[in-house]
Amino acid sequence: MGASALTVLAGRAGGEKDGDPDKRAGAAWMDAWMNSKGWRRPEGGLYLGRFADPIYFLTKPITWKPNPGQEQYKEVIVPVGFVTDLASIPRIFWTALRPDGQYAYAAIVHDYLYWFQMRPRQESDTILKLGMEDFSIKRSTVAAIFGAVRLAGGAAWAENARFRKAGEKRILRKFPDDPRSTWENWKQRPNVFASALAASEVHAI
């Protein structure tokens, strides 16, 4: 069953190629420099379906991998069907920091780590920071978001643990084909989530 509102929100972190020869040369130099340092750019697109409310689900998996010097952190693979609200930013701040900003890719990885809690919370927050840096996001923005999750993320961490203990699931095996479907209604339906066994196999690290 196909997604009702399939969207590509992010591709390779450099964007599309520019027609200006000087800009192409500059981009090629930057690529060569980054490769010489062993630095990885995020690759592939971020493909999402959306419920009628602003809740999203992955229609292709995404991966965060550590760069050289970050080997103490294992890669994170977020599977197809994972449900996320992107960056959990209060509406009052949306003019400055949109939930679907360039940090959305890193925010989904962070959501996944916060939901399954297979890593310590501090490590999960650090991976969010490293993921944002992979997209060359401004230092001030990275610092603001990282500071916010370190300060206030404990409540979300505890809430997720309660929801999981109560039986809530976050990995879909079946996507809605009606654009009016809401997350609250969809999650009440039978057989829309991956089985516990399948989920544990997918998340094994």
pLDDT at position 196 over 50: yes
| Dist CA 57 CA 59 (whole Å) | 6
Provide the whole-model pTM.
Answer: 0.74
According to DSSP, the β-strands at 62-64 and 46-50 are unpaired
pLDDT given at position 144: 87
| Dist CA 119 CA 75 (whole Å) | 11
pLDDT given at position 160: 93
pLDDT given at position 24: 55
Per-residue confidence band for 103, with pLDDT thresholds at 50, 70 and 90:
confident
| Dist CA 96 CA 194 (whole Å) | 36
According to DSSP, the β-strands at 46-50 and 7-10 are antiparallel
84: how many CB neighbours lie within 10 A of its CB? Answer: 22
Per-residue confidence band for 39, with pLDDT thresholds at 50, 70 and 90:
low
DSSP, collapsed to helix, strand or coil, labels residue 97 as: coil
* CA-based end-to-end distance of the chain: 28
pLDDT: which is higher, 192 or 144: 192
pLDDT given at position 92: 35
Q: Position of tokens 């505890």?
A: 158
